[in-house]
């Protein structure tokens, strides 16, 4: 994977006349994880939505490999996002959901391999409707594995996952960044990702 | 390993939406049943006045089709918005306006094409002449996609609202008027044995205008709804 860089320059976010954060600058390079911490309502999700380009920062600029994020098409080629919603269709099977995701992006692992990695082997033909909350979350995270994206933006990725799965996903994130990927995530859990890879922002 | 092409993405969106529609067949029946029921009620209410019925039949069918289309349009982006798939669709390297066009196409295939098959039967039931039925079908074929395309803008604009239904109708119905007028004009002309090409040319023009222009505001409104 090429070396990539996400740069935030003096971002601020104002919501309902409350300043959530201001003068926030950081640089995230290939091989790094950015962990965003903060109490409920501190603006973690707002920051992530600014970083995905869904929301414009009230002041400040974002640069992906030195290009301003205004032209998001290039940025989206490299970016995967998992928000509060899983982005899965209840009436499609696990395989159909992943195949759709692949058709919109580029393929990394095959669907079968990705499902096996997240412990959903054998669920290919199961409708998402019949899966538990944790299984859905795992399927959403499987999307990261079967598409090739440099930057992962994850909003509370470990919600409703059991301890073993959380460990597993922290390994995936470590693997991803060790291959030159970047990860931005919010999490309430104490993460086991090595500190050498980690940058933290406390909102 | 390489990035999927735009056509792959288009195909995937259409295929997924058709599959979703097939898995939720029951929801497809609603606008169709509405269409048939509204039209069936008119002869009952009018009584045995075949001449009058024949005269107003095209208008009945068009208004019923328009309302049936309005009924189903709200679903165009709502489910995607609620389950987060819309975020995925926005976050692709492909232009959102083109993917929007794919979604509208799928919606048209699922909600309007069945009406095209039933409309001739309804026309026969209302004593329409067969050549007028042909013209009616042509106007539906040209006009229904425009309804879906224009409806898409309004749906995208009202996504953020919990109860956007009434607002949607208010936004959309005035924009539906031109297409209704030209369709009515074409069928009227056909009934009086006059050439219809003027009206149908206008409808073609509106259709192409809608195909090229409406995806842009729809895409912009979708992005706005996510912020």
Q: What is the full per-residue pLDDT of chain B (227 aa) written as tens digits? A: 467 788 889 999 999 999 999 998 888 888 999 999 999 999 999 887 888 988 899 999 999 999 999 988 888 998 899 898 999 898 888 899 999 999 999 999 999 999 999 999 999 999 999 999 999 999 999 999 999 999 999 999 998 887 777 888 889 999 999 999 999 999 999 999 899 999 999 999 999 999 999 999 999 999 988 88
Nearest CA in chain A to B227: A55
Q: Which of A73, A81, A107 sits opposite B87 (nearest CB)?
A: A81
Residues facing residue A15 across a β-bridge: A18
Å between A71 CA and nearest CA of chain B: 10
- Residues B3, A88: C-beta atoms closer than 8 Å: no
- Residue B97 placed within a domain: yes
- Residues B91, A103: C-beta atoms closer than 8 Å: no
Provide CB contacts within 8 A for B33, sequence distance 6+. Answer: none
Position B2 scores a pLDDT of 66
Q: In what order do the strands lie in the sheet with A182-186?
A: A79-82, A151-155, A182-186, A33-37, A198-202
Kindly give the interhelix angle for B165-191 and B50-73, rounded to the nearest 10 degrees: 150
Position B109 scores a pLDDT of 93
- Contact between B65 and B144 (Cβ < 8 Å): yes
- Residues B16, A89: C-beta atoms closer than 8 Å: yes
Position A1 scores a pLDDT of 59
Residue carrying structure tokens 């009436």: A91
Beta strands in A53-109 (DSSP E): 59-64, 67-68, 79-82
Residues facing residue A202 across a β-bridge: A37
Nearest CA in chain B to A152: B91
Query: Could you tell me how far CA B116 lies from the centroid of its own chain?
Result: 11
In Å, what is the CA distance from A4 to each residue of A78, B29, B110? Answer: 9, 50, 43
Q: Has residue A4 got a pLDDT over 90?
A: no
- Give residue B50's domain range: 6-226
In Å, what is the CA distance from B149 to each residue of B7, B137, B154, B198? Answer: 20, 19, 9, 22
Position B28 scores a pLDDT of 84
Report how far residue A22's alpha carbon sits from residue B163's, in angstroms, rounded to the nearest whole number.
Answer: 34
Å between B21 CA and nearest CA of chain A: 9
Taking residue B208's Cβ as centre, other Cβ atoms within 10 Å add up to 11
Å between A59 CA and nearest CA of chain B: 15
Nearest-Å Rg of the Cα atoms of chain B is 19
Report how far residue A155's alpha carbon sits from residue A95's, in angstroms, rounded to the nearest whole number.
Answer: 23
- Residue B1 placed within a domain: no
Residue carrying structure tokens 């395989």: A95
Position B1 scores a pLDDT of 47
Q: Which of A54, A84, A86 sits opposite B227 (nearest CB)?
A: A54
Taking residue A51's Cβ as centre, other Cβ atoms within 10 Å add up to 25
Residues of chain B neighbouring A92 (CB-CB closer than 8 A): 16, 19-20, 23
- Residues B91, A80: C-beta atoms closer than 8 Å: yes
Kindly give the interhelix angle for B130-157 and B50-73, rounded to the nearest 10 degrees: 30
Mean pLDDT (chain A, rounded):
87
Q: Has residue A5 got a pLDDT over 60?
A: yes
Q: What average pLDDT does the segment A45-54 reach?
A: 88
- Residue B140 placed within a domain: yes
- Residues B93, A85: C-beta atoms closer than 8 Å: no
- Residues B12, A79: C-beta atoms closer than 8 Å: no
- Contact between A95 and A146 (Cβ < 8 Å): no
Beta strands in B112-215 (DSSP E): none
The 10s digit of each residue's pLDDT in A139-170 is 999 999 998 888 999 998 888 888 888 888 88
What backbone phi and psi angles, to 5 degrees, belong to B197?
A: -60, -30
Residue among A18, A16, A21 nearest A60 (CA): A21
Residue among B127, B139, B160 nearest B66 (CA): B139
- Residue B45 placed within a domain: yes
Q: How many domains does chain B have?
A: 1
- Contact between A102 and A128 (Cβ < 8 Å): no
The size of the A-B interface in CB pairs under 8 A is 88
Report how far residue B20's alpha carbon sits from residue B24's, in angstroms, rounded to the nearest whole number.
Answer: 6
- Residue B202 placed within a domain: yes
Nearest CA in chain A to B2: A106
The 10s digit of each residue's pLDDT in B139-162 is 999 999 999 999 999 999 998 887
Task: Report which DSSP code applies to B24.
Answer: T
Q: Which of B4, B13, B91 sits opposite A106 (nearest CB)?
A: B4
CB neighbour burial string for A110-147, b if at least 16 within 10 angstroms, e if fewer = ebeebbebbebeebeeebbeebeeebbbbbbbbbbbbb
B interface toward A at CB cutoff 8 Å? 1-4, 8-9, 11-13, 16, 19-20, 23-24, 82-85, 87-95, 223, 226-227
Residue among A106, A150, A146 nearest A3 (CA): A150
- Residue B188 placed within a domain: yes
Q: Has residue A177 got a pLDDT over 70?
A: yes
A interface toward B at CB cutoff 8 Å? 49, 52, 54-56, 73-74, 76-77, 79-81, 83-92, 96, 99-108, 148
Report how far residue B91's alpha carbon sits from residue A79's, in angstroms, rounded to the nearest whole number.
Answer: 7
Q: What average pLDDT does the segment A17-32 reach?
A: 88
- Residue B124 placed within a domain: yes
- Residues B83, A87: C-beta atoms closer than 8 Å: yes
- Residue B63 placed within a domain: yes
Taking residue A9's Cβ as centre, other Cβ atoms within 10 Å add up to 16
Residues of chain B neighbouring A77 (CB-CB closer than 8 A): 3, 93
Q: Which of A73, A103, A106 sits opposite B2 (nearest CB)?
A: A106
Residue among A96, A160, A100 nearest A128 (CA): A96
Angle at A66 between CA B1 and CA B87, to 5 degrees: 55
């Amino acid at each position: 994977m090429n070396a990539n860089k996400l740069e935030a320059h003096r971002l601020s976010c104002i919501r309902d006349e409350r300043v959530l954060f201001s003068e926030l600058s950081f640089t995230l390079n290939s091989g790094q994880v950015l962990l965003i911490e903060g109490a409920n309502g501190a603006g973690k999700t707002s920051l992530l939505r600014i970083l995905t380009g869904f929301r414009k920062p009230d002041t400040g600029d974002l640069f992906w490999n030195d290009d301003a994020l205004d032209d998001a098409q290039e940025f989206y080629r490299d970016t995967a996002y998992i928000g509060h919603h899983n982005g899965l269709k209840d009436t499609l099977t696990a395989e159909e959901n992943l195949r759709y995701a692949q058709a919109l992006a580029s393929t990394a692992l095959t669907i079968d391999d990705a499902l096996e990695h997240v412990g959903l082997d054998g669920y290919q033909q199961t409708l998402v409707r019949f899966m538990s909350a944790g299984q859905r979350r795992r399927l959403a995270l499987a999307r990261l594995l079967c598409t090739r994206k440099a930057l992962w933006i994850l909003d509370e990725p470990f919600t409703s996952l059991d301890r073993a799965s959380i460990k597993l996903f922290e390994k995936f994130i470590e693997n991803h960044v060790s291959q030159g990927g970047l990860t931005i995530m919010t999490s309430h859990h104490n993460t086991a990702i090595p500190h050498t890879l980690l940058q933290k922002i406390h909102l | 390993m390489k990035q999927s092409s735009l056509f792959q993405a288009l195909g995937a969106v259409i295929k997924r939406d058709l599959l979703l529609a097939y898995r939720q067949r029951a929801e497809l029946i609603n606008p169709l049943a509405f269409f048939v029921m509204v039209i069936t009620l008119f002869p009952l209410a009018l009584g045995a006045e075949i001449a009058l019925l024949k005269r107003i039949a095209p208008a009945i069918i068009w208004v019923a089709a328009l309302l049936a289309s309005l009924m189903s349009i709200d679903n165009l982006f709502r489910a995607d918005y609620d389950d987060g798939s819309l975020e995925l669709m926005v976050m692709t390297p492909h232009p959102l306006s083109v993917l929007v066009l794919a979604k509208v196409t799928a919606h048209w295939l699922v909600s309007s094409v069945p009406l095209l098959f039933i409309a001739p039967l309804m026309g026969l039931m209302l004593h329409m002449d067969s050549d007028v039925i042909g013209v009616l079908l042509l106007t539906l074929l040209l006009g229904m996609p425009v309804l879906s395309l224009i409806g898409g803008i309004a749906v995208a604009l009202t996504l953020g609202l919990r109860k956007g239904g009434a607002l949607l109708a208010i936004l959309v119905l005035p924009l539906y008027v031109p297409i209704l007028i030209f369709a009515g004009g074409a069928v009227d002309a056909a009934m009086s044995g006059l050439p219809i090409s003027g009206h149908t040319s206008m409808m073609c023009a509106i259709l192409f205008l809608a195909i090229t222009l409406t995806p842009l505001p729809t895409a912009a409104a979708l992005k706005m709804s996510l912020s």
